[in-house]
């Protein structure tokens, strides 16, 4: 453990929840990251045993901070910085199952749909 506390945006980036630190900062600013249930600012410090709710766009996590780092390292090191709660793991597993069985019809289309794509979407919707 380096410092007793680290800025939350740096920690989220080091723990690999976001690809860039600016994405982490934007997520904290927009309320997608909560510390112990409350909205915070990117400069807020995070300490060991804090509980974070993180929504990085594709997945929602609830994690307990185990260790602190402001340097981004390999994924194996990043995973030692936190422990995901049981409820969060169950919820993510359930969402993965839902996605596997009930695919969003437009998820396979990249960009603007063609006429053919539009007809397929309309046909599957009704």
Are 64 and 53 in contact by the 8 Å Cβ rule? The answer is: no
- What is the domain range of residue 75? 6-125
Q: Is 65 exposed, middle or buried (0-12, 13-18, 19+ CB in 10 A)?
A: buried
Structural domain tally of the chain? Answer: 1
Instruction: Give domain status of residue 1, yes or no.
Output: no
Encoding tokens for residue 52? 């974070």
Instruction: Give domain status of residue 121, yes or no.
Output: yes
Q: What is the CATH number of the domain that holds 20?
A: 3.10.290.10
Instruction: Identify which of 14, 18, 48 has the alpha carbon closest to the alpha carbon of residue 33.
Output: 18
pLDDT, tens only, 49-104: 899 999 887 788 899 999 998 899 999 999 999 998 898 888 888 888 887 787 76
Instruction: Give domain status of residue 47, yes or no.
Output: yes
pLDDT, tens only, 4-55: 789 999 999 999 999 999 999 999 999 999 998 889 999 999 998 899 999 8
């Amino acid at each position: 453990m380096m410092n007793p506390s680290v800025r939350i945006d740096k920690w989220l980036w080091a723990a690999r929840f976001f690809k860039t630190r600016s994405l982490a900062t934007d997520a904290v600013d927009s309320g997608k990251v909560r510390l112990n249930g409350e909205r915070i600012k990117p400069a807020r410090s995070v300490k060991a045993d804090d509980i974070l709710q993180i929504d990085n766009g594709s997945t929602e996590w609830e994690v307990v901070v185990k260790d602190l780092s402001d340097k981004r390292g390999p994924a194996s090191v990043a995973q030692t910085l936190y422990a995901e709660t049981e409820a969060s793991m169950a919820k993510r597993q359930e969402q993965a199952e839902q996605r596997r069985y009930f695919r969003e019809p437009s998820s396979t289309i990249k960009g603007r749909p063609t006429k053919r794509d539009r007809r397929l979407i309309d046909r599957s919707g009704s």
